[in-house]
Amino acid sequence: MRTLDDLLAEGVSGRRVLVRADLNVPLRHTEESVTVTDDGRIRAVLPTIRALAEAGAHVVVCSHLGRPKGAPDPKYSLAPVAARFSELLGAPVAFATDTVGESADAVTASLAAGEVALLENLRFNAGETSKDDAQRGEFAVKLARYGEAYVDDAFGAVHRKHASVYDVPKLLPHFAGGLVVRELDTLSTLTSDPKRPYVVVLGGAKVSDKLGVINNLLPKVDALLIGGGMCFTLLAAQGHGVGDSLLEADQIDTCKQLLAEAGAKIVLPTDVVVAAELSATAETRVVGVDAIGAGDKGLDIGPETARAFAGKLAGAATVFWNGPMGVFEYEPFAAGTKAVAEAVAGAGFSVVGGGDSAAAVRALGVDEASFSHISTGGGASLEYLEGKTLPGVAALEA
């Protein structure tokens, strides 16, 4: 796999370089404005953009945002992202109001050496995410016109077989950006020869989303701590009532088999925070997992569980964490996630697996610098650890 360093060594002065970035950041919409609420993914790609611009490239950046239906939707415009991108870069970022149309043609043609442009949301075009190879390929040809070389620095999208990730690299000399290289190097240490004890913490909503990575990691880890909504299906498999908590009833038998095979490696909560409703002002109770009432919703791990998880993490040499322990966006259900985040930060080699976990770190005020690595791609990191082939990585290796 050729990297950004190889491209820079070739020389990019005066050349157009198409960069696939992951600028899929959360936005806050008000009547007055639209603002970026977490700019972590923008900051993560800045070193690659700066390196190309300083070397004299004409830098054309493309990205997706959210899940529009293959047509323009103002709610998912990258315009507010371009504004924040410009602030962080400390230089103007020209914005094209389409992806492969007249505005994109004009904006990219007007770029001088060292200047940066951002195209409108890739997913405003049906060809970007199409499962039809011909439709996807047709869009890729149009997009590839804006580059003489291609750099993929969108680790959060490398698990997608999309035009900008999978098809464009077939059309241009292609290189892995610095962020993608760092992500792959970090995750490879978790699957090759991690220092022990090796502890994995998994949370999030659905156990079905994590079964693949659980099965792949179990032989490699010393302990697997499970919280979040996904824990309730596992607790149900142990015979506990879970009230109105999130439950995947069709996964109970699978979870019974998983628990039987895992033995003591899987550690589940012993207490949970419950409420009758999910709200910022909900009345909460802490109950043992054997005392969840019929109308209770389990919305966070309890303090006893948080202490137990922290104890397991305290002696860990390697930690991977993906998924919050509760609905951390609401203050009554944030304590478990914050306790785990602080414990993970204190471990030896600590990797936060992107997505909601990375958002929680920033939202709960845990120092980002205290972790060894915070991934920008939750789904991509999980699929890598599951042992799946990532289409974007395969394209860069071709």
> Would you give the end-to-end CA distance of the chain in angstroms?
8
Residue in 286, 255, 254 with CA at minimum distance from that of residue 270: 286
In what order do the strands lie in the sheet containing 223-226? 266-267, 223-226, 198-202, 318-322, 349-352, 373-374
Does the annotation flag 66 for ligand binding?
Answer: yes
Residue in 2, 142, 10, 117 with CA at minimum distance from that of residue 58: 117
Does the annotation flag 67 for ligand binding?
Answer: yes
Instruction: Report the distance separating Cα 388 and Cα 398, nearest Å.
Output: 17
**Residue 321 main-chain phi, psi, to 5 deg:** -125, 125
Q: What are the C-alpha distances in Å from 282 to residues 228, 240, 331, 332?
A: 18, 24, 10, 7
355 is catalytic: yes
Does the annotation flag 386 for ligand binding?
Answer: no
Does the annotation flag 160 for ligand binding?
Answer: yes
Q: Which of 228, 355, 377, 392 is catalytic?
A: 355
206 is catalytic: yes
Q: Which of 227, 323, 353, 379 is catalytic?
A: 379
* 3 DSSP 8-state letter: B
Does the annotation flag 20 for ligand binding?
Answer: no
Does the annotation flag 39 for ligand binding?
Answer: no
Does the annotation flag 50 for ligand binding?
Answer: no
Does the annotation flag 24 for ligand binding?
Answer: yes
Does the annotation flag 210 for ligand binding?
Answer: yes
Does the annotation flag 329 for ligand binding?
Answer: yes
ω into residue 197 within 30 of 0, thus cis?
A: yes
Q: Which of 43, 142, 206, 285 is catalytic?
A: 206
Structure tokens at 372: 């060894």
Does the annotation flag 64 for ligand binding?
Answer: yes
Does the annotation flag 357 for ligand binding?
Answer: yes
Give binding residues for (2R)-3-phosphoglycerate as ranges: 41, 123, 160
Give binding residues for ATP as ranges: 210, 298, 329, 354-357
Give binding residues for substrate as ranges: 22-24, 41, 64-67, 123, 160
- The residues carrying an active-site annotation are 41, 206, 355, 379
Give binding residues as ranges: 22-24, 41, 64-67, 123, 160, 210, 298, 329, 354-357
